Chains A and B, each alone.
Chain A
């Protein structure tokens, strides 16, 4: 992909970056996002948690009006070995019909039947800070539609922690089991991600940091002391 080149260029371009900034090496991690079409790579051998894309929820215009649709995406169901599996649903809308949750529950069961240890599912939605309260409500309803035996993870945005409404963030912590905060956008690390990390202190639920393979990451010493920090998830990419 263009990514590695981009990162090199970025590194060359931002001399202010501390010299200890490192390139994200998937081999040093054990949790990954796995999207469709990603070539097998050695890091997957030691995977402990896999977040597998399974669907994309969005709205479409149809002859009979607007409807929310679930487009099947990501790798086919198969036995993933001994790692724990999360199923990921990207969504552009919070207008979900109850059938969508039913479909997710079934899909979770299907992955179990394929011999996997299925931990739960993740909702990948980019919500603005202002809409966090509505999102929390959406998640609360969704949570109620899925058996408690499955955990609920969501992706989070870096700026929630800086600008997020404290109340909404606190409520979020009562609804979801974990937040994975993404430090990248598209295929590159957000250039000034470090300015945002301070705000992670405001998250009061287990959280992980989402990194992009070949992107940039420097671990702040404070992170390891944070009781809610649960490690990293690396978004796997193909190299061109």
Chain B
């Protein structure tokens, strides 16, 4: 998908490189704030924040449990989250970050994920509700079992293996022919399988065929008949399959065929429709298997079915207990969760409303408490309720104390109280919970108005070496916001400034830096070459689109003082994304269908003398149009413009809100053309060109892309008529057969 930032200038420009899918909810701009104020997948921070994605908070807690670590992974995978050079495209820095960047780029669990199988191991415990996900793994297991069963004659073995391998094709072919599948094995194979063990495998296959064709009652009966048979693999596997079949049967019972008034029908699946008797049978069947085979080959999978059963039954105490068991037994042969899978699954299945159930397990409880500290939560956490949770956090007091402090800060808006709680428990560790407390202390200092003290505090923390990823970047953002608060953003660009994160420095340049400071950075030797180029670019760009033509002409000379740009290295998807000041060396290259224009600096000189000069305005319009056409990706839109337009603009300190660092009205082609028409002294050929362009603003579908206010069709028609009648002999009239 694309991220679009519309301004009057380059109205329809797009950022369109390797965009994240719609499903990822990427269409949001990061809020450059430490505190955050609203839920936004793009704006997560590396401390326990109510506004973080629950999955991020959960993973931060897992880090402190020693189950995972954060490390920057090489950007070798496809997809934008894996490639930091694409983040800038979406205006991301390192902090805040997108939830998916956190879990794919940084988070690494310390246990090993299953590396077997060509496809992602299907989580058939996660209520996916279809038998088919084990089509391949089941086949492999069946073949291995037969190869180990030397008592089965080779011909029988081959026939059985082939039959299982063809299962899908057989069923599909029969279905397409409209033939019944129920007796296929009886008809074809029974007489060719004669050995006792071979017969057991055949009976198992018959049950499997019933299973895959969703004849669950029949499958259950067939598997049950095998759970005492002599062949050990068939005996155990059939026993396990009873529980799996029972679970799918229960889930399947949630389907209800509904009729529309017109006689058509549709199927509705709801948890409420599930047959609870069948669900009870499933739980019993799982227990039956686990009792008989506590260390069985399917024990982990079978135990995993409990989560599915409890989720379908909405038995949340049992579900939470099961997660606790899994978490406490990650190494057990009966656990089917890895750290990563645990972190993925819990936020999805977390019963946020089942508070009593959550008291059984501190980890999801902590995540849910944070979730309930969000502004406008419809189920806000009360202080009494939180205090009553203390016993649930035995052994995890550091987390509990942080939650108390966070409650004072985020819900009660009482920074003084927050500091009191934090002072009670000074944290010395370098974990993320301790870091959360440190960040909260700084935020509380800022909120009490102690900005000087807060600045010293952030600076002190930044001097202490932090071994943990993303912590320094968070503190740098906090310090930058402190500078902004006191109108001293320039300090961030002083020599030796502790603000060194290049993403953050770019954001400051785009959001906060005024023209004089941009000019200073442009000529400062200690600034990096990229930064100097960016400063000049933003300065010239700002002057030009805001009508500061004299300043543009003056500062255009800065181009000559810049060191050569670093080598541009187009990446595989997006090309080079760094600012290219050569834009301002535009020589006036003709638009194929435009005016003959001088260089951009000459255009600006004309406009500096007369800001409404028709020729100057039209040529500036051509410059814009030319670059719109030639640069299909216009990367250099000023950041945060959309954010500024949103009324939800943060009630918390953040970059990109407040007065525009380069104030002024943004140039629009549409308005420029209208201004030319309004000047009675404009030469007729320029008036004709202005009319021609105005009409074309609405080509080809009647939609205006010139950045000015839309006008009704009648007005467009009047422009067209004026062009054709008053300037009929000009090339501009002759080359335009329509209006839109």
Contacts and interface: CB of A to CB of B under 8 A. Distances in A.
A141 interface: no
Interface stretch (B11-19, B421-429, B491-499): B11-19
Given A97-B118, A127-B18, A188 B132 contact: no
Contacts of A239: none
A150 interface: no
Given A62-B115, A128-B633, 9 more contacts: A16-B710, A62-B113, A81-B267, A93-B77, A99-B119, A106-B135, A130-B575, A185-B27, A186-B22
Contacts of B217: none
A192 interface: yes
19 contacts: A47-B266, A59-B78, A62-B115, A76-B251, A78-B269, A82-B266, A106-B135, A110-B130, A112-B175, A113-B175, A126-B20, A130-B575, A131-B18, A157-B16, A159-B14, A186-B41, A190-B2, A191-B642, A196-B14
Contacts of B129: 76-78
Nearest to A64: B115
B172 A112 contact: yes
Contacts of B702: 220-222
Interface residues of B, number: 82
Interface in B121-147: 122-123, 127-130, 132-133, 135
A77 B573 contact: no
Contacts of A185: 1-3, 19, 22, 26-27
Nearest to A48: B264
Given A40-B269, A81-B265, A182 B700 contact: no
Contacts of B3: 185
Interface string A65-88: 011011110011111111100000
Please give me the 8 A-B residue pairs with the lowest Cβ-Cβ distance, nearest first. A186-B27, A76-B129, A81-B266, A185-B27, A93-B78, A92-B79, A163-B632, A198-B701
A18 B646 contact: no
B417 interface: no
B571 to A, nearest CB: 11
B700 A198 contact: yes
A63 B269 contact: no
A56 B16 CA distance: 21
A158 interface: yes
Interface in B5-51: 6, 11-12, 14, 16-28, 39, 41
Contacts of B705: 195, 198
Given A13-B645, A69-B119, A79-B267, A59 B6 contact: no
Nearest to A14: B645
A67 B213 CA distance: 32
B587 interface: no
B712 to A, nearest CB: 11
A212 B612 CA distance: 43
Nearest to B114: A62
A167 interface: no
A148 interface: no
**Chain B interface main SS type:** loop
Given A63-B112, A83-B266, A184-B22, A113 B171 contact: yes
Contacts of B171: 113
B703 A195 contact: yes
Contacts of A61: 73, 77
Nearest to B255: A78
A167 to B, nearest CB: 14
A128 B574 contact: yes
B128 A201 contact: no
B334 to A, nearest CB: 23
Nearest to B6: A192
B14 A162 contact: yes
A23 interface: no
Contacts of A197: 701, 703
Contact of B79 (A58, A80, A182, A195): A58
A95 interface: yes
A183 B704 CA distance: 17
A129 interface: yes
Given A110-B132, A186-B26, A130 B1 contact: no
B647 interface: yes
B79 A128 contact: no
B608 interface: no
A86 to B, nearest CB: 16
Nearest to B122: A72
A51 interface: no
B168 interface: yes
Given A18-B710, A90-B23, A128-B17, A190 B260 contact: no
A101 B171 CA distance: 19
A4 interface: no
A123 B42 CA distance: 25
Interface string A167-206: 0000000000000001011111011101111101100000
A123 to B, nearest CB: 11
B258 interface: yes
A223 B39 CA distance: 36
A90 B21 contact: yes
B465 interface: no
Nearest to B133: A72
B268 interface: yes
A126 B27 contact: no
B120 A72 contact: yes
Contact of A130 (B251, B573, B701): B573
B49 to A, nearest CB: 18
A195 to B, nearest CB: 4
Nearest to B82: A59
Nearest to A109: B172
A40 to B, nearest CB: 5
Contacts of A130: 17, 573-575
Nearest to B175: A113
Q: Which of B11, B17, B120, B702 has the most CB of A within 10 A?
A: B120
B182 interface: no
A221 to B, nearest CB: 7
B11 A195 contact: yes
A46 B115 contact: no
Q: Which of B76, B130, B269 has the most CB of A within 10 A?
A: B130
Interface in B417-438: none
Contact of B21 (A60, A72, A124, A194): A124
Contacts of A113: 171-172, 175, 213
A44 B647 contact: no
Contacts of B277: none
B128 A72 contact: yes
A61 B112 CA distance: 11
Nearest to B270: A40
A28 interface: no
Given A40-B268, A126-B20, A103 B119 contact: yes
B447 interface: no
Contacts of A196: 12, 14
A83 B16 CA distance: 34
Contact of B16 (A12, A128, A184): A128
B467 interface: no
A92 B701 contact: no
Contact of B647 (A12, A60, A191): A12
Interface in B567-585: 573-575
B2 A158 contact: yes
Interface string A3-15: 0000001001110
Contact of A159 (B11, B16, B267): B16
A76 B130 contact: yes
A121 interface: no
